[in-house]
Amino acid sequence: MGKIYALLLLVMMFWGFNVSALKVLVTTIDPIFLTSVRIFTAGISVLIISYFMKIFRLPTKKELVTIAYITIFNVVFHHSLLAIGLTRTSGVNAGLILGTAPLVTMVLSILLLNDRVTRMRVLGFILGFIGIVVTSLSGTGGLSTVSIGDLWIFLSMLLQAFSFILISKLNPDFDPRLLTGYMLVLGSVFIFVFSLIVESNVNQITALFSWKLGLIFLFSAVLCTAFGHMTYNFAVKNVGPAETTIFINLNTFFSLAGAAIFLGEPILLNHFYGLILILCGVFIGSGTLEYMWDKRKKARMHMMKNLKDK
C-alpha cells in the first residue's frame, strides 16, 4: 500500500508540472488537436511498456466494449469538455471545480459501490477541499461570475469520477495498466476527429520538431499521461477510487510550484496555508492516520497480552 501511495505522490507531481508544460504548448498548437496527439503518443507508449512488462494481450469482445465505454467518459468527454471549458471560465473557477473531484468520487463510491466512508476520511476530504479553496483564491479578487464554462468543467470532472467507478468494477483479469493504453489510443482517435471539426490546422504539429517544444511534449505525453495514467488507474483498481482520488488535491500545490519554477509566477503566503490543509487532507482522507492508529492499537494489545501471559 505504501508503494502505491508513493507512486501516486510522484504522479501528482508530474500532473502538477504538466499544467506548466501544457501552458507552453497550447500557445503554439490548438489545445484540442494537441490533446489528441498527446494522448495518442501516450497510448502507444503505454502499449509498448505493457508489452515489455509482459502484461500485453488483446482484449476480448466483451472487454473491448467495456474499454470503449470507459474511454468515452475517462478520455473523450473528460479531456474535450475540459479543453472547451477552460476557454470559457477563469482558472480560479476551474481549479475549485476540479478540486471537488475527491468529494464527488466519494459520493459516487457510496452510491454505486456501497463503500463505507468513515468520519475521519470525510474530514480528510473536507480539509483537502478547503486547501484547494485557500490556494486557488490566493492573490485573486474571488470567484468570477459563474459561466457556461463552469458547467463544462464540472461535467468533465463528474464524468471522469464516474469512469473511476467503472474502472474499479472492471474484470479483475484485465490489467488496469493495459486498459490505460487501449483507452488512450481509442480516445485519441475520437478527439482527433473532433479537433478536425473545430480546429482544422493540423500543420501546427510541425512546431513539435523544435527540440524545446519536443522535449516538453514528450514529458507531457510519456511521463505525465502514459506513466501517470497507468499508475493512477492501477491504484484505482487496487486501492479504490475514493482513496486514490483524494491525491488529486496535491495537483494544486505542484501546479503552483511548477508555475513558480518554470513560468516565473509568484507564490504567496496563502499558498503555503493551502498546502498544509491539502497535506492534512491527504494524510487523513487516504486512511493513513486510521491505519497508524489501528497498527498502534494492535501493537499495544499484543504487548498487554504478552504481559498477562507472563
- Cα dist from 230 to 74, 152, 177, 217, whole Å: 13, 25, 5, 18
3-state DSSP percent of the chain in helix, strand and coil, to 5: 80, 0, 20
**Selected residue with higher pLDDT from 6 and 292:** 6
pLDDT grade for 187, boundaries at 50, 70 and 90: very high
Highest mean pLDDT among 38-52, 58-72, 235-249: 38-52
Question: Contact at 8 Å (CB) between 168 and 105?
Answer: no
Does residue 61 register a pLDDT over 90? Answer: no
b/e sequence 209-241, b meaning 16+ C-beta within 10 Å: eeeebeebbbebbbbbbbbbbbbbbbbbbebbb
Q: What phi and psi values does residue 263 have, to the nearest 5 degrees?
A: -115, -5
Mean pLDDT taken over the chain: 80
pLDDT at 136: 64
pLDDT higher than 90, residue 219: yes
Higher pLDDT, 213 or 119: 213
How many Å apart are CA 161 and CA 104, to the nearest integer?
Answer: 7
What average pLDDT score do residues 156-174 get? Answer: 78
Answer yes or no: is pLDDT of 285 > 80.
no
Total Cβ atoms within 10 A of residue 301 = 10
Would you say residue 77 has pLDDT above 60?
A: yes
**Distances from the Cα of 308 to the Cαs of 301, 304, 305, in angstroms?**
11, 6, 5
Q: Which of 18, 5, 3 is nearest to 244 (CA)?
A: 5
Q: What are the φ/ψ torsions at residue 171 (nearest 5 degrees)?
A: -50, 120
pLDDT winner (highest mean) among 87-91, 195-199, 213-217: 213-217
Mean local confidence (pLDDT), 72-78: 89
Residue 18 has pLDDT above 80, yes or no: yes
At residue 106, the pLDDT reads 74
Alpha-carbon gap, residue 272 to 27, rounded angstroms? 29
Beta-carbon count within 10 A of 72 CB: 18
User: Does residue 179 register a pLDDT over 80?
Assistant: yes
Which one of 19-33, 81-95, 167-181, 255-269 scores highest in mean pLDDT? 19-33
- Whole-structure pTM value: 0.74
pLDDT level of residue 275 (50, 70, 90 thresholds): confident
What is the rounded CA–CA span in Å between residue 127 and residue 250? Answer: 12
Mean pLDDT of 6-30: 85
Terminal-to-terminal C-alpha distance of the chain:
35
Position 79 pLDDT exceeds 70? yes
Residue 78: its H or E element: helix 78-86
For residues 109 and 117, is the Cβ–Cβ distance under 8 A?
A: yes
Q: Which residue has the higher pLDDT, 39 or 289?
A: 39
68: nearest Cα among 186, 211, 195:
186
